[in-house]
Protein backbone atom coordinates (compact mmCIF):
# COMPACT_ATOMS: atom_id res chain seq x y z
CA UNK A 1 0.00 0.00 0.00
CA UNK A 2 2.74 2.47 0.94
CA UNK A 3 4.92 1.49 -2.00
CA UNK A 4 2.02 1.75 -4.45
CA UNK A 5 1.29 5.25 -3.11
CA UNK A 6 4.92 6.27 -3.64
CA UNK A 7 5.49 6.88 0.07
CA UNK A 8 8.87 6.65 1.77
CA UNK A 9 8.74 3.95 4.44
CA UNK A 10 10.78 1.49 6.45
CA UNK A 11 9.78 -1.57 8.44
CA UNK A 12 11.07 -2.10 11.97
CA UNK A 13 10.79 -5.20 14.10
CA UNK A 14 12.63 -6.13 17.28
CA UNK A 15 12.85 -9.75 16.15
CA UNK A 16 15.42 -10.95 13.59
CA UNK A 17 13.28 -13.92 12.54
CA UNK A 18 10.41 -11.54 11.69
CA UNK A 19 12.77 -9.25 9.80
CA UNK A 20 13.97 -12.16 7.67
CA UNK A 21 10.42 -13.37 7.07
CA UNK A 22 9.22 -9.89 6.09
CA UNK A 23 12.13 -9.43 3.68
CA UNK A 24 11.37 -12.80 2.11
CA UNK A 25 7.70 -11.84 1.75
CA UNK A 26 8.61 -8.54 0.11
CA UNK A 27 10.92 -10.32 -2.35
CA UNK A 28 8.34 -13.02 -3.15
CA UNK A 29 5.74 -10.35 -3.93
CA UNK A 30 8.15 -8.37 -6.15
CA UNK A 31 8.16 -5.42 -3.75
CA UNK A 32 11.15 -3.29 -2.83
CA UNK A 33 12.97 -5.10 -0.06
CA UNK A 34 16.53 -3.80 0.00
CA UNK A 35 17.10 -1.22 2.73
CA UNK A 36 13.46 -1.55 3.85
CA UNK A 37 13.44 -3.84 6.88
CA UNK A 38 15.47 -3.37 10.06
CA UNK A 39 15.71 -4.58 13.60
CA UNK A 40 15.25 -1.82 16.14
CA UNK A 41 18.88 -1.59 17.21
CA UNK A 42 20.18 -1.22 13.65
CA UNK A 43 17.66 1.54 12.88
CA UNK A 44 18.45 3.66 15.94
CA UNK A 45 19.26 7.24 14.95
CA UNK A 46 17.38 6.98 11.64
CA UNK A 47 13.95 8.26 10.61
CA UNK A 48 11.53 7.81 7.73
CA UNK A 49 8.25 9.39 6.65
CA UNK A 50 6.27 6.25 7.44
CA UNK A 51 7.26 3.42 9.74
CA UNK A 52 5.65 0.00 9.82
CA UNK A 53 6.31 -1.77 13.12
CA UNK A 54 5.91 -5.54 13.31
CA UNK A 55 5.25 -6.73 16.86
CA UNK A 56 3.94 -10.23 16.48
CA UNK A 57 4.03 -11.78 19.95
CA UNK A 58 1.81 -14.32 21.58
CA UNK A 59 2.75 -14.65 25.24
CA UNK A 60 5.49 -12.75 27.06
CA UNK A 61 6.51 -9.12 26.56
CA UNK A 62 10.08 -9.88 25.54
CA UNK A 63 11.50 -6.80 23.81
CA UNK A 64 8.47 -4.71 24.76
CA UNK A 65 9.53 -4.77 28.41
CA UNK A 66 12.51 -2.54 27.51
CA UNK A 67 10.97 0.96 27.49
CA UNK A 68 14.10 2.66 26.17
CA UNK A 69 14.34 0.42 23.09
CA UNK A 70 10.57 0.51 22.57
CA UNK A 71 10.67 4.32 22.70
CA UNK A 72 13.33 4.31 19.97
CA UNK A 73 11.07 2.15 17.82
CA UNK A 74 8.02 4.40 18.32
CA UNK A 75 9.78 7.69 17.58
CA UNK A 76 11.25 7.01 14.13
CA UNK A 77 8.36 8.23 11.95
CA UNK A 78 7.96 11.73 10.54
CA UNK A 79 4.42 11.47 9.16
CA UNK A 80 2.76 8.22 10.21
CA UNK A 81 3.12 4.81 11.76
CA UNK A 82 1.45 1.44 11.35
CA UNK A 83 1.78 -1.07 14.20
CA UNK A 84 1.14 -4.66 13.17
CA UNK A 85 0.37 -6.77 16.20
CA UNK A 86 -2.17 -9.05 17.79
CA UNK A 87 -5.00 -7.14 19.40
CA UNK A 88 -5.53 -10.04 21.81
CA UNK A 89 -1.87 -9.97 22.90
CA UNK A 90 -1.88 -6.20 23.38
CA UNK A 91 -5.05 -6.34 25.46
CA UNK A 92 -3.54 -9.03 27.70
CA UNK A 93 0.22 -9.51 28.21
CA UNK A 94 1.16 -6.39 26.24
CA UNK A 95 -1.32 -4.04 27.91
CA UNK A 96 1.18 -2.64 30.41
CA UNK A 97 3.89 -1.99 27.82
CA UNK A 98 4.57 1.38 26.22
CA UNK A 99 3.02 0.10 22.97
CA UNK A 100 0.04 -1.29 24.89
CA UNK A 101 -0.53 2.12 26.48
CA UNK A 102 -0.25 3.83 23.10
CA UNK A 103 -2.66 1.41 21.47
CA UNK A 104 -5.04 1.74 24.42
CA UNK A 105 -5.05 5.50 23.89
CA UNK A 106 -5.83 5.02 20.19
CA UNK A 107 -8.13 2.02 20.59
CA UNK A 108 -10.68 3.53 18.20
CA UNK A 109 -8.04 3.31 15.45
CA UNK A 110 -7.57 -0.47 15.42
CA UNK A 111 -7.86 -1.74 11.84
CA UNK A 112 -8.28 -5.38 10.91
CA UNK A 113 -6.02 -6.84 8.22
CA UNK A 114 -8.75 -6.98 5.56
CA UNK A 115 -9.55 -3.27 6.10
CA UNK A 116 -6.03 -2.00 5.30
CA UNK A 117 -6.81 -1.34 1.63
CA UNK A 118 -9.28 1.35 2.71
CA UNK A 119 -6.60 3.41 4.49
CA UNK A 120 -4.92 6.20 2.58
CA UNK A 121 -1.43 6.94 3.92
Q: 4-32, pLDDT tens digit by residue?
A: 999 999 999 988 888 999 999 999 999 99
pTM score: 0.85
Contact status, residue 42 vs residue 76, Cβ threshold 8 Å: no
pLDDT in the model for residue 117: 67
Q: 43-83, pLDDT tens digit by residue?
A: 988 999 999 999 876 677 788 888 888 888 889 999 999 98
What is the percentage of the chain residues whose pLDDT exceeds 70?
91
Contact status, residue 73 vs residue 47, Cβ threshold 8 Å: no
Residues paired with 37 in a beta bridge: 11
Ordered by where they begin, the domains of the chain are 9-108 (3.40.50.300)
φ, ψ for residue 52 (rounded to 5)? -105, 125
pLDDT in the model for residue 108: 75
SS (H, E, C) 30-48: CCCCCCCEEEHHHHCCCCE
Contact status, residue 82 vs residue 52, Cβ threshold 8 Å: yes
Amino acid sequence: MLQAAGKHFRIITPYDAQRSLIEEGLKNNQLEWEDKCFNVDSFQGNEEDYIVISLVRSRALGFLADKRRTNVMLTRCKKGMFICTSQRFMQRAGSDSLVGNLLGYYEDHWVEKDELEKIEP
